[in-house]
Chains A and B, each alone.
Chain A
Amino acid sequence: MSATLALLLAAAGFSALCMTLPRHQNDVLRRRLPPARTMGLRAAGFALLAGSYLILAWRDGFGRGTVTWAGLATFTAATVVAGLMVHARRTTASERCSRRR
């Protein structure tokens, strides 16, 4: 249960951090966010990651919690990358369709 929560928090955290990067703002939002919003997202992203770490450290103790969190962080960050790839595919496919029309 708490592991699922940690996973969701980490996924949300990496999604937020991803949206602070200019390239992904352009790709996903089609515009650049104002610096204040970017800063806010970055803070939220790191806070969410810290939250997921605290949950695992509380559940498994400092040692095991750290190891599990590192693994979970790798996994969730990879999921965000996969999500971006799917998004990029969809947008290029729909662009191709609209051009054809």
Chain B
Amino acid sequence: MKGGFRQSMAWLHTWAGVVVGWALFVIFATGTAAYFQEEITAWMQPEATPAASPAVAAEQARAFLQRVAPDAQAWYVTLPGKRGASTQVFWVPAADAPPPDRPTTAMLDGAGREIAARATEGGYFLYRFHFDLHYLPVIPARYLVGVCAMAMLTAILTGVVTHKKIFADFFTFRLGKGQRSWLDAHNVAGVLALPFYLMITYTGLVTLAAQYMPFGIAAAYPSEAAFYEEAYPLGPTIAPAGRPAPAAPYAPMFDLAGRRWNGAAVGFVNTVNPGDANARVSLVRSSAERMASRGEALVFDGANGALIAPVANTGVAAQTESVMIGLHAGRYAGPLLRWLYFLSGLAGALMIATGLVLWTVKRRARLADPARPHVGFRLVERTNIAAIAGYPTGLACYFLANRLLPLGMADRAAWEINCLFIAWGAVFAWTLGRPARCAWVESLGAAATAFALVPVVNALTTPRNLAVSLWRGDWTYVGFELTVLALAAGFGWAALRAARRAPVAAARRKTPAERAAA
């Protein structure tokens, strides 16, 4: 690293950014979409209908589980929240039970009936893809994401140092000035949402800190299990008594929880040893209620309904971690704040995209022969297109596959995800054989087309088209489809701009005859 402090920081900014930029773009874009994971799941399961209120849903879930899984070791129920998700149940079969002949999960509608919804991972896939990636073992994938996040944090901090005039250029965005415009766009996207980037990158690292830095645990605890037992107590474990007992009603437990938590809603109802005299019911506060991500729990005797103990409140460090994770995941956010999270995330994706493009724009001017760039340049250029235009195309195809794949298909949920990667790979392969400008125009156009098709295909394959959703005031559907259309418009605009610039670039390039003459 030669030159002064700012030069070395600029060097670090460039290379920390470009080495992991594509992965960061994908992680950022996916995480941004995952802020609406429940809404996306609702859109991807058009068969699902709105659920009942939490206390009613809990009784319905119990009735369902008593019928389907009376001998289970434990029942886990996720109650519907304000965002209109249905009731999810999941159970652990008895240790000596024969292998189950049906999945041990189910989704219940507002009347407590099991919904026969299409198989899909929905928005949950996006949430997991954001930090677990796909087709990869989870632990190495999380290390990869961690490396990217660390590079992101480095790029943000060095970017602040590199940016010469943060305040003078705070509002500056000059269009139509080539490299200067790209730099302006990168600066504006970077500076305006800077608090968000710092928060999201730092807290993102905190979510997996125990995996990345396990040394503190290793030094202070005999085993990792001992650490988790102390850090996240699950309450006393209890063996079944072996005597059946009727179950106490939920309503008084919900009332007590509401009083203890100042009216906050219950998010989860977990039952250990259901139907037994030693049944234990724990109510966990909904994560939509507070910034801290780990909700408090109250444990009740499942047979007589008596409160046994609130699970001990954890220490200050654990509370801090819990708030940081909550801040990252934004489960506590209401509609306004959720949209602000989403827009800040989009700004982040734009910042990364413009940064990547800037790398090529800067170097293109310095190439010895702009018609035949060297391998490194071509690699960055193509991968940029594959990430910035190809990945969104894949995402749109994930939604399209959800509507178009046959409902009875084997491994349907997995194939929806495969479609994302097939479409993404197809765009990448296509761009390899095309001149860069054409590749940009075509792949941005593909993204615009794929997104624009989503509401169309939905209207053709389900009765819940945009007009019906508007008429019914179904804002989850309306919001999803208008957002998808806005993305289509954005990519379309970008494709048009790239197309308009194409002839200028071609004119600047020498023809082979001219080159031969020179």
Given known pairs A23-B172, A64-B337, the reply for A81 and B343 (CB within 8 Å) is no
Q: Are A85 and B175 in contact (CB under 8 A)?
A: yes
Q: Are B192 and A71 in contact (CB under 8 A)?
A: no
A24: chain B residues at CB < 8 Å are 171
Within the complex, the shortest CB–CB distance from A30 to chain B, in Å, comes to 17
A63: chain B residues at CB < 8 Å are 291, 323
Interface: B482 (CB within 8 A)? no
Q: Are A68 and B171 in contact (CB under 8 A)?
A: no
Given known pairs A68-B336, A70-B195, A77-B192, the reply for A84 and B173 (CB within 8 Å) is yes
Within the complex, the shortest CB–CB distance from B19 to chain A, in Å, comes to 27
Q: Are B337 and A77 in contact (CB under 8 A)?
A: no
Interface: B168 (CB within 8 A)? yes
A24 to B337, CA, bound (A): 30
Interface: B288 (CB within 8 A)? no
Within the complex, the shortest CB–CB distance from B336 to chain A, in Å, comes to 6
A31 to B195, CA, bound (A): 33
Q: Are A68 and B337 in contact (CB under 8 A)?
A: yes
- B residues near A (Cβ < 8 Å) are 167-168, 170-175, 188, 192-193, 195-196, 199, 291, 323, 327, 332-333, 336-337, 340-341, 343-344, 347
B337: chain A residues at CB < 8 Å are 64, 67-68, 71
The size class of the interface chain A forms with chain B is: 20 to 34
Within the complex, the shortest CB–CB distance from A90 to chain B, in Å, comes to 12
- Known pairs A77-B170, A78-B347, A84-B171 / 5 extra A-B pairs, C-beta < 8 Å: A74-B193, A74-B347, A77-B171, A77-B192, A88-B175
B167: chain A residues at CB < 8 Å are 21
Interface: A72 (CB within 8 A)? yes
Interface code A76-94, partner B: CB below 8 Å = 1, 0 otherwise?
0110110011001100000
Interface code A1-29, partner B: CB below 8 Å = 1, 0 otherwise?
00100000000001001100101100000
B291: chain A residues at CB < 8 Å are 63-64, 67
Closest to A84 in B: B171
Within the complex, the shortest CB–CB distance from A26 to chain B, in Å, comes to 12
Closest to A23 in B: B172
A72 to B170, CA, bound (A): 16
A70: chain B residues at CB < 8 Å are 195-196, 199
Q: Are A74 and B171 in contact (CB under 8 A)?
A: no
Residues 20-53 of A contacting B (Cβ, < 8 Å): 21, 23-24
A42 to B323, CA, bound (A): 35
A21: chain B residues at CB < 8 Å are 167-168, 170-171
Closest to A80 in B: B171
Given known pairs A64-B291, A68-B337, A70-B196, the reply for A75 and B343 (CB within 8 Å) is yes
Task: Kindly identify which residue among A17, A18, A71, A80 contacts B344, using a CB–CB cutoff of 8 Å.
Answer: A71
A78: chain B residues at CB < 8 Å are 188, 192, 347
Closest to B338 in A: A71
Q: Are A74 and B343 in contact (CB under 8 A)?
A: yes
A77 to B336, CA, bound (A): 17
Task: Kindly identify which residue among A23, A72, A88 contacts B340, using a CB–CB cutoff of 8 Å.
Answer: A72
A72 to B336, CA, bound (A): 9
Closest to A14 in B: B171
Q: Are A71 and B173 in contact (CB under 8 A)?
A: no
A24 to B171, CA, bound (A): 9
A72 to B193, CA, bound (A): 10
Given known pairs A64-B291, A78-B192, A78-B347, the reply for A71 and B171 (CB within 8 Å) is no
Closest to B291 in A: A63
Within the complex, the shortest CB–CB distance from B304 to chain A, in Å, comes to 38
A74: chain B residues at CB < 8 Å are 192-193, 195-196, 340, 343-344, 347
Closest to B343 in A: A75
B192: chain A residues at CB < 8 Å are 74, 77-78, 81
A79 to B320, CA, bound (A): 34
A14 to B170, CA, bound (A): 10
Closest to A83 in B: B171
**Which among A17, A24, A81 has the greatest number of chain B C-beta atoms within 10 A?**
A81
Within the complex, the shortest CB–CB distance from A100 to chain B, in Å, comes to 19
